[in-house]
Structure formats: C-alpha cells, structure tokens
Copies of this chain bind each other. A is one copy, B any other.
Amino acid sequence: MQEVVECCQPILDEPLARREAESLAGWFGVLADPTRLRLFSLIAAAGEACAACDLVDDLGVSQPTVSHHLKVLRDAGLVGSEKRGRWVYYWPLPERLSVLSRALGS
C-alpha cells in the first residue's frame, strides 16, 4: 500500500484527481469486505486483541483467512501489531479512518 498522503478534498466539493481517486478507492476497498470490517471492529472495540485469543473463533473463518485480513489491515495502516511470545496483538490506528471520514464529509 502507498505511503500516507495528504488525501483528500471532500469528494463532494471538487472533482477528484485520478491519483487521489486511486488512493481513496484503495482504502475503501480495504473496508469493503464484511469479514474484514468485523475484524477491525472487534479489535477496535477491544482496544487490543490477539488473533488466536479473540478473533479466529468469533469470525467463523479459518486461521489463514484471519491472518490474511490482518495483513491487509496492517498494510493499510488501520491497525498496529506487535508480537509478544507466541501471540501477535493488534490495536486500532484510527487516523486513517478519520481521513476517510473527512473525505466523505462536505
């Protein structure tokens, strides 16, 4: 995923440049899967969560699928992670959501 950019003007205000549209579309794409949204929501609501401890069982998908979605969320800058012993913990990084929220606002 691309670097953090100053992105974007509210999409209601003026036409998006091609480059801005690609950035925004990519981030919306990260949110465009129900499993991934629930995963992020679980992490955010918990404040911090560990995949095996908290996430795999609740979602009804396999461990590799959860791992895949966590990677997508991490690459998109929506969650941070840290390994502690055998476990990897995840926590929300809501800054990117704020950017998107602002882009949707007028």
Chain A positions near chain B (C-beta within 8 angstroms) = 11-16, 18, 21-22, 24-26, 28-29, 31-38, 40-42, 44-45, 58, 92, 94, 97-98, 100-102, 104-106
Q: Using A25-B33, A28-B31 as known contacts, say yes or no to A97 and B12 having CB atoms under 8 A apart.
A: yes
What is the count of identical protomers in the complex? 2
* Contact among B18, B38, B40, B44 with A38 in the assembled complex (CB-CB below 8 Å): B18
- List, sorted by A's number, 30 A–B pairs whose CB atoms are closer than 8 Å: A11-B40, A11-B97, A12-B41, A12-B97, A13-B44, A14-B45, A15-B38, A15-B42, A15-B45, A16-B41, A21-B37, A21-B38, A22-B34, A24-B31, A25-B31, A25-B32, A25-B34, A28-B29, A28-B31, A28-B32, A28-B37, A29-B29, A29-B32, A31-B32, A97-B104, A97-B105, A98-B104, A98-B105, A101-B101, A101-B105
